[in-house]
């Protein structure tokens, strides 16, 4: 059964749910950009002692946390649930057990309230995070999506119109931060730990390799991780802060060089960052400087909008509901869902 949607406009209220990885989140959005509430319950402390996300723990914790998180989002929005016009959830990509918790909850609520269900692609939602915080951003926009699972340069030509310009051929940038931090004994998640330690080190102390820096728009980070390990094994007295700072400088150099190249190639009006690694202080500073040099806009979302949240899911859902209508209830969760690209 598909519940037909009322016209989608700036008064449409969407409840969105995000459970693709280790954040349990719910948000209410009115129209394309008015965030009424956004609640995120992070499980990071539960997974930290295992050095990474444990899928089984993630699914169980979503089950425990989701109802209270949804209830809190509705209370904080200050509206009655009868005002909700559609219920959206991330359908992929992500951990299958984790995704299923949010998808089942969203479908159940949509059926109960007799409103449309909207299945959302998590990567598309990350693209919308920047636009949600700054609706004045213009297309074509290059979004550098850098998280624990993805490193992509995407050209947003318009709503729902994406071209993949480049991506990692091995490790994601965040994965490299996490693996190097683990090797250096800095704990999990590694990105914030390296960012912090690097402030006390010299980014030029060690000339780590910049793989594929001078050609194309794809990335490779696994060789860099191996270089760090080899360097530390060969020089056991090297300072951790210098290693962290030099590693971070290598990752950021490649990311900024390629984002800039991508923007020039497509004649982008600006570059936006997205994903957890977008919180990195050196990446933010270097990208801002590069965009200033090139005379294009640079958009650096807030930390809350870089990491997983349900407000960005609601925003992507609003545009999808407007363009495609409700999602059939037999659409399932897909752990490998791809970003819908232009042919
Ligand atoms: O987008 P996200 O919250 O989750 C997904 O991967 O979907 O990104 C998490 C990643 C982790 O790899 C984490 O180490 C990295 O983002 N990260 C950072 C920083 N904060 C988080 N990496 C570098 N510098 C940071 N300040
Ligand atoms: Zn994400």
Write the DSSP string, 150-206.
-EEEEEEEETTEEEEEEEBSSS-HHHHHHHHHHHTT--SSHHHHHHHHHTTS-TTSS
- The reported pLDDT for the residue numbered 129 is 94
Residues with CB under 5 A from ligand 2 (ion): 308
The pTM of the whole model exceeds 0.85? yes
Task: Give 226's strand partners.
Answer: none
Residues in the chain: 343
From the CA of 173, give the closest atom in ligand 1.
12
The contacts of residue 35 (CB under 8 Å, 6+ apart) are 27, 28, 29, 132, 311, 314
- Give yes or no for a contact between 46 and 128, defined as CB atoms under 8 angstroms apart: no
Q: Please report which helix (H) or strand (E) contains residue 120, including its range.
A: strand 117-121
From the CA of 178, give the closest atom in ligand 1.
14
Best mutation site among 196, 252, 276, 335 for ligand 1 pocket (most ligand atoms within 8 Å of CB): 276
Band of pLDDT at residue 114, cut at 50, 70 and 90: very high
Best mutation site among 126, 189, 301 for ligand 1 pocket (most ligand atoms within 8 Å of CB): 189
- The reported pLDDT for the residue numbered 85 is 98
Task: Give distance in angstroms: CA of 260 to centre of ligand 2.
Answer: 23
Give nearest CA residue, ligand 1 atom 6. 148
| 8 pLDDT higher than 80 | yes
- The reported pLDDT for the residue numbered 34 is 97
How distant, in Å, are the alpha carbons of 93, 96, 279, 314 from that of 122? 6, 13, 18, 11
Task: Give distance in angstroms: CA of 227 to centre of ligand 2.
Answer: 27
Task: Give distance in angstroms: CA of 243 to centre of ligand 1.
Answer: 19
How distant, in Å, are the alpha carbons of 53, 62, 154, 167, 318 from that of 46? 9, 12, 32, 30, 32
| 1 pLDDT higher than 70 | no
| 47 pLDDT higher than 80 | yes
Six token digits for residue 79: 């509206």
Band of pLDDT at residue 73, cut at 50, 70 and 90: very high
Quick one: which ligand is closest to 44's CA? 1
């Amino acid at each position: 059964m598909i519940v037909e949607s009322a016209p989608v406009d700036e008064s449409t209220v969407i409840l969105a749910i995000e459970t693709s990885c280790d954040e349990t989140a719910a948000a209410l959005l009115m129209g394309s950009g008015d965030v009424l509430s956004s609640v995120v319950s992070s499980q990071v402390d539960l997974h930290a002692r295992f050095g990474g996300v444990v899928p089984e723990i993630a699914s169980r914790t979503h089950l425990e946390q989701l109802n209270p998180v949804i209830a809190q989002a509705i209370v904080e929005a200050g509206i009655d649930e009868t005002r909700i016009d559609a219920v959206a959830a991330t359908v992929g990509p992500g951990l299958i057990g984790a995704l299923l918790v949010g998808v089942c909850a969203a479908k159940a609520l949509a059926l109960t309230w007799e409103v449309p269900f909207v299945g959302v692609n998590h990567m598309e939602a990350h693209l919308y995070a920047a636009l949600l915080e700054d609706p004045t951003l213009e297309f074509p926009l290059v979004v550098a999506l850098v998280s624990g699972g993805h490193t992509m340069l995407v050209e947003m030509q318009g709503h729902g119109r994406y071209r993949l310009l480049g991506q990692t051929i091995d490790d994601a940038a965040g994965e490299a931060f996490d693996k190097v931090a683990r090797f250096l004994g800095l704990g999990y998640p590694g990105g914030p730990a390296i960012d912090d330690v690097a402030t006390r080190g010299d980014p030029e102390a060690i000339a780590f390799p910049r793989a594929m820096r001078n050609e194309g728009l794809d990335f490779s980070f696994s060789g860099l991780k191996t270089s760090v390990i080899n360097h530390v094994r060969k020089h056991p007295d090297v300072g951790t802060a210098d290693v962290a700072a030099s590693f971070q400088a290598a990752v950021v150099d490649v990311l900024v060089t390629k984002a800039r190249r991508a923007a020039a190639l497509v004649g982008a009006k600006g570059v936006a960052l997205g994903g957890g690694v977008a919180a990195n202080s050196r990446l933010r500073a270097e990208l801002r400087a590069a965009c200033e040099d090139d005379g294009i806009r640079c958009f650096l979302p807030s930390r809350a909008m870089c990491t997983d949240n349900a407000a960005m899911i609601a925003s992507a859902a609003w545009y999808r509901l407007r363009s495609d209508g409700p999602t059939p209830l037999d659409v399932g969760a897909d752990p490998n869902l791809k970003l819908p690209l232009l042919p």
